[in-house]
A and B are shown apart, each in its own frame.
Chain A
Amino acid sequence: KNEVEQSPQNLTAQEGEFITINCSYSVGISALHWLQQHPGGGIVSLFMLSSGKKKHGRLIATINIQEKHSSLHITASHPRDSAVYICAVRHGGSQGNLIFGKGTKLSVKP
């Protein structure tokens, strides 16, 4: 079983829809990261959080440490949000290396 599980693997939405991507993990962590990767592109950090909730523009990330679960929400989705969204957790041990989920591929149709 993977230590970081994301769902769904693929997601297609219509422009304007509210989107939720989920991440569950099974290890002790010190922080959780949400990353974005556009097709053929580099990897960009969206959020790093260890508790509660963070918001940047139309993106909101939440984490529940007790339930070992995080969600990434996109409000009023737009075709430019089409990308792969990756959840990664910073392990509590092992030099604090990141453990990555397999990613969620989001496609937003106009």
Chain B
Amino acid sequence: NAGVTQTPKFQVLKTGQSMTLQCAQDMNHEYMSWYRQDPGMGLRLIHYSVGAGITDQGEVPNGYNVSRSTTEDFPLRLLSAAPSQTSVYFCASSYSGAVPNYEQYFGPGTRLTVT
């Protein structure tokens, strides 16, 4: 298993540009989520999904969109990038079946800089 994969690893955007951060998992996990990590702030939840076709907002959703058309993929879209969105973005997934273990598996992250 590749686990949770994220692309790209690094990205530089200009203010106002849009882009999609890709996240995929091959563990057949129902639950997927996106976090951003900023120095001294820990990780904050942006959006999450409990299954294909179901998404919901987390703590800091403004400026981001998500969709979940398949179990495997959970892309994060930045509609109009702003310098405040400069951060490291992590995707995570978790098994939420009959006997969940509540462990979240994290991808390697995408480092985004908005100039």
Q: Do A and B truly interact?
A: no
Residues in B lying within 8 Å of A, measured CB to CB = none
Residues in A lying within 8 Å of B, measured CB to CB = none
